[in-house]
Chain A
Amino acid sequence: MAECVRLDSSTSSHTMDKSITLPPDEIFRNLENAKRFAIDIGGSLTKLAYYSTVQHKVAKVRSFDHATKEAASDKLYEISVQEEVTARLHFIKFENAYIETCLDFIKDHLVNTDTKVIKATGGGAHKFKELIERKLGLKVDKEDEMTCLIKGCNFVLRNIPHEAFVYAKHADSEFRFQTTQPDIFPYLLVNIGSGVSIVKVESEDKFERIGGSSIGGGTFWGLGALLTKTKRFDELLQLASKGQHTSVDMLVKDIYGGSYGSLGLTGDLIASSFGKSATADKEFSKEDMAKSLLHMISNDIGQLACLYAKLHNLSRVYFGGFFIRGHPVTMHTITYSINFFTKGEVQALFLRHEGYLGAIGAFLKGAEEDNPNQYSWGENYAGSSGLMSVSPDMNPMQRARSGTFDMLEMDRLERQLVNLPLLQDPSSYIPDTMDLTEDALAREYWLYCFEEALDGVVKRAVASQPDMPEAAQRAEKFRQKYRHKLQTLRQQPFAYGSLTVRSLLDTREHCLNEFNFPDPYSKIKQKENDMALKYYQKAVKSLEELSWEQRQFALVRGVLAGNVFDWGAKAVSDVLESDPEFGFEEAKRQLEERPWLVDSYDQWFERLKGPPHKCALFFVDNSGVDIILGVMPFVRELLSRGTEVVLASNSGPALNDVTNGELQILTERIAAMDPVIQAGLREDRLMLVQSGSSSPCLDLSRLDKVLAMVVRERQTDLVIIEGMGRAIHTNYYAMLSCESLKMAVIKNSWLADRLGGKLFSVVFKYEVPAGKPSQHSAALSPL
């Protein structure tokens, strides 16, 4: 990646060590606040880990005291930007050749010197022990390699969505990412270093090396070097990827003339590795021998892994170690071998951050007093390089890989995240509707769309901080960073796991935060909230005048029309920006007439005739008209029916989505005007709970623990999800164990087209889980 220092690895390391300068805001970030170092030194790469605290600006809203100073402003609340300190984990990977330069750099920039010890692991740790101690003045404290590896593995499996993937060389997308499992244990980790260790992991602290093999990466490298006179591991892999093993290996058909039918052994199967080279009168090409060797070793490891998986009845088998480390060639041969030996019953799994496991584990060992495992962590897309390597012919960046600094940053999340208890099957839940890694057309479109929208985002970011003159400069940096991310994703859609509209949006939020634009929409949201509030009573009154039947429909139309007000969608932000008077009534007129694109209003209406729901969980979307004139009247009706309501809103800002902080203030204001809402609050039948998310989309497998608790306690039996980000880009196919209502207006013509509709088509999806008759029909049945 261009933003990382690229070092010419052809220059000798001695001259280079002195000459390179490391840009601090890109490589070893936040060193001033760094503490708790850990280092994992492997055969060729060093992985450094540290913990830092990051100061960043967050937008806060605070209610004006309306009783005392009514005149001060007609604004509902004030917005202030505050400094907040959050914890971040940094992991940096670089070639061992740069270790001295890096240590010097760290020494020069390290301000906080409470740190006395550096945790170290990996085979090279003892070799550099003296150097580290001398340079940094820290005591090197060695940790067991395997323990670190397992600790690191548990950590990434638990905290990074789409960490694990299966590799399919010939598929549309080479990487098929796995959904995070609610329970990561038990699993088998096959670590292929110079030798092979096979470890069964049963819980956080319980693991056992159940076996291993001496035929591993060292065998490939060592034997390969002897056979081909090629010194480097990477070059050997290159040779192997060009070779034909059939000239060296004895195949079943070489012995049988065809297949060995009665045993189901096909003719192309290798009967004897190197079986044809037992002759003096033939020369073999380096490529062919390397290929044969690669197959021999991969098959052997795969076979042993399968035997152990079978013996211990384990189906999740992760592969790691330098033999694997992002190399498509070895991932392919291992995958092939596992498929062959288990007949497809077990899948070979690989990890995006496999190279960091040791460093992460060593770090965690040293940070036990901070209890990092008590928190949820999230991958920071802005600060992480993402998965780099692919087939060399596909990606020109590959060649520079070994000379690149690779980074992973993880933010400590303020809240602990858990599954929504109402997911029908948490292990198969996939939040995203479209996987852009696999869908090339959709990927093209969305990458283009986000790039197009970038100017507008930059403009708005600058406008959100009118008092800060350097905002324009920062916004420019943001633009560069995000544009670069988009370009990287064009080349490597799998860089951060499955590419989705959600990940594109989240990456943008991370980049904005990185450059201290915590809430570019704060002013717009404020203005819209103020305006919408003025119409609240009028809107409620006109609804009250309708008959019950008419009102139910008007409420749904209100939510939908309110949802048209959205700065996040390009088609709408164009209209809004050019015509700020675009009103609620007009939005209703714009709305598609029934039958809608997806229309189960009749079923919903029938359901409403039945007994009220016990408790509804409502994931809300935008500020302004959406929440105030669309959602609140709907909530009001639910409350009136005797249904408790939990309003779940974002913990942190994302686009113009209403945050929990804002919603608290808005609801109070509405309560002052509306006795129904007031009673709801007072009687604790209306609750405002944060979702734990700061994304315009919704991942029901990573929700605030408190929300999950409330949902369970209140026996929630209806989930309402509103808006394109939460109900269409994500969760469109989410299966819940209770009734659910997904409402959105499609404000993007491409997406509308994809779904068979047109711009402003309506999705109204009311679902009752299979096998569970709606309470309404149950209530009717006695009649």
Chain B
Amino acid sequence: MQLITIFSLTFPAFPWFGMDIGGTLVKLVYFEPVDITAEEEQEEVENLKSIRRYLTSNVAYGKTGVRDVHLELRNLTMCGRTGNLHFIRFPTQAMPRFIQMGHDKNFSSLHTTLCATGGGAYKFENDFRTMADLELLKLDELDCLIRGLLYVDRVSFNGHPEGYYFQNPSDTQSCVKMPCTLDNPFPMLLVNIGSGVSILAVYSENNYKRVTGTSLGGGTFLGLCCLLTGCETFEEALEMASKGDSTNVDKLVKDIYGGDYERFGLQGSAVASSFGHMMSKEKRDSISKEDLARATLVTITNNIGSIARMCAVNEKIERVVFVGNFLRINTVSTKLLAYAMDFWSKGQLRALFLEHEGYFGAVGALMELLKTTEDP
């Protein structure tokens, strides 16, 4: 009995949320306790119950909210409580509706702290306050990203490693995804590909620096695809890209030199000019949307790979970890990044990926909520 008393004193009130409001997507993690005692159940306010039921019994929320069921972390122990960690995302555009819902469900009566990170934590702070009477605990997105990433890697993905890499990245035939953990993770170059890209050199959980960033990120891929193909969603764009051939759009070295450019050791198959064929009207008229989507994807991915590689060399770091929602259901990009790192560094650099791609910031935000009680 005494133990439980301590519990109730040290863990924060339910519900436990961590939220990362990015430029395009809002990532939400929700801890669903599965060890609720009968006593607790009785005390639990109706409000809280309905939230729990709503989130856990659905996989889609409204038109645009999605729960990534396959990412759920089961039987996790956090702050001494056991439960499942759910991963939910919805477009940032739906934020006003989300805040409205917070108001409608009288969220403010629950006395929970809403931990939020990402730019939206700042942008929507006032809306939360005025529309839903909610105070946000604003957290730095890079702090959260690193903390969340290290945590998920540590607890593992339901007994499996969180990380993976590609064996034989240079050979499409024998290229295989291999699981791995980040034991001894430091130093690592962390490349977070959201709407834009941030590149961090991480030396320990609390010691990192933002090396650089680029505005050519996931938002650019989707934005350009929408303009070029009329598609509307990331899934649609990726679906098209998977069917297209970028060499109809891009000018390759061999298109210019007839083969390899030996003087500089450039292979004929290397892209010399992204969208270079599109300078010609004839080629523009004969191109498919799928080819354009593929070329956009390849261009953005290669560019990120190139900048990441240069940063790794400049910072003298050999392990490059790619995260962010751009990589979601995007094996074209992950394989391309793995290949680019390996090929251009002559095997010196290794690209690593993580299964929970874009959710680490949200996990990090949740951990902030539990922080005071997390460590003894």
Contact = CB atoms under 8 A, between A and B. Distances in A.
Given A226-B292, A257-B123, A280 B232 contact: yes
B113 interface: no
Contact of A275 (B223, B225, B277, B314): B223
B219 A218 contact: no
A225 interface: yes
B224 to A, nearest CB: 5
B206 to A, nearest CB: 14
Given A146-B264, A215-B274, A252 B224 contact: no
A402 interface: no
Interface string A231-265: 10000000000000000111010111110101100
A255 B22 contact: yes
Interface in A476-527: none
B275 A275 contact: no
Interface in A255-290: 255-258, 260, 262-263, 270-280, 284, 289
Interface string B108-150: 0000000000111011110000000000000010100000000
B23 interface: yes
B284 A225 contact: yes
Contact of B278 (A223, A276, A289, A308): A223
B220 interface: yes
Given A303-B214, A341-B212, A195 B272 contact: yes
Interface in A191-235: 193-195, 197, 209, 211, 213-219, 221-223, 225-227, 231
Interface string B258-301: 00000110100011111111110100100000001000000100
A222 B273 contact: yes
B195 interface: yes
B169 interface: no
Interface in B218-254: 218-220, 222-228, 230, 232, 249-251
Contact of A257 (B122, B230, B270): B122
Interface residues of A, number: 59
A123 B258 CA distance: 11
A146 B222 CA distance: 35
A369 B198 CA distance: 53
A296 B216 contact: yes
B358 interface: no
B273 A216 contact: yes
Given A255-B123, A256-B122, A311-B310, A277 B274 contact: no
B226 A279 contact: yes
B311 interface: yes
A116 B281 CA distance: 38
A310 interface: yes
A664 interface: no
A214 B302 contact: yes
A197 B279 CA distance: 19
Nearest to B228: A226
Interface in B310-345: 310-311, 313-314
Contacts of A622: none
A307 interface: yes
Given A123-B256, A263-B210, A307-B311, A277 B272 contact: no
Nearest to A269: B215
Kindly name the residue among B194, B271, B272, B292 whose own CB sees the greatest number of chain A CB atoms within 10 A. Answer: B272
Contacts of A214: 250, 270-274, 276, 299, 302-303
B364 interface: no
A217 to B, nearest CB: 8
B73 interface: no
A146 B302 CA distance: 24
Contacts of A530: none
Contacts of A222: 249, 273-279
Nearest to B271: A214
A717 interface: no
B156 interface: no
Nearest to A282: B226
B307 A303 contact: yes
A187 to B, nearest CB: 18
Contacts of A257: 119, 122-125
B217 interface: yes
Contacts of A275: 23-24, 195-196, 215, 217, 219-220, 223
B220 A273 contact: yes
B119 A252 contact: yes
Interface string A115-158: 00000000100000000000000000000101100000000000
Interface string A523-553: 0000000000000000000000000000000
B84 interface: no
Given A250-B195, A296-B215, A278 B226 contact: yes
Contacts of A304: 306-307, 310
A147 B264 CA distance: 11
A215 B275 CA distance: 8
Contact of A272 (B212, B215, B256): B215
A674 interface: no
Given A226-B284, A260-B119, A278 B222 contact: yes
B32 to A, nearest CB: 29
Residue from the set A213, A254, A289, A308 with the largest chain B CB neighbour count within 10 Å: A213
A123 B272 CA distance: 13
A296 B220 contact: yes
A272 B196 contact: yes
A255 B23 contact: yes
B251 A255 contact: no
Contacts of A695: none
Nearest to A279: B226
Contacts of A260: 119
A226 B278 contact: yes
A300 interface: yes
Nearest to B278: A222
A694 interface: no
A328 B142 CA distance: 38
A218 B279 contact: yes
Contacts of A761: none
Nearest to B237: A278
Most chain B CB neighbours (cut-off 10 Å) among A223, A249, A270: A223
A708 B299 CA distance: 55
Given A194-B276, A257-B122, A296-B216, A248 B223 contact: yes
A214 B196 CA distance: 19
A226 B289 CA distance: 11
A278 B142 CA distance: 25
A299 interface: yes
Interface in B182-228: 194-196, 210, 212, 214-220, 222-228
Contacts of B275: 218-219, 221-223, 226
Contacts of A262: 140
B196 A277 contact: no
B273 A219 contact: yes
A256 B124 CA distance: 8
A444 B304 CA distance: 51
Contacts of A144: 263
A249 B272 contact: no
Nearest to A144: B263
A227 B227 contact: yes
Contacts of B279: 194, 218, 221-222, 225
Contact of A274 (B214, B224, B292): B224
10 contacts: A215-B299, A222-B278, A255-B195, A273-B215, A273-B216, A274-B219, A276-B223, A278-B219, A279-B226, A307-B311
Q: Which 8 A-B pairs have the closest CB atoms?
A: A222-B278, A274-B223, A272-B219, A255-B119, A218-B273, A275-B219, A257-B123, A222-B275
Interface of B: 22-24, 118-120, 122-125, 140, 142, 194-196, 210, 212, 214-220, 222-228, 230, 232, 249-251, 256, 263-264, 266, 270-279, 281, 284, 292, 299, 302-303, 306-307, 310-311, 313-314
Given A226-B275, A273-B215, A278-B222, 6 more contacts: A194-B251, A222-B276, A255-B22, A257-B125, A263-B210, A278-B24
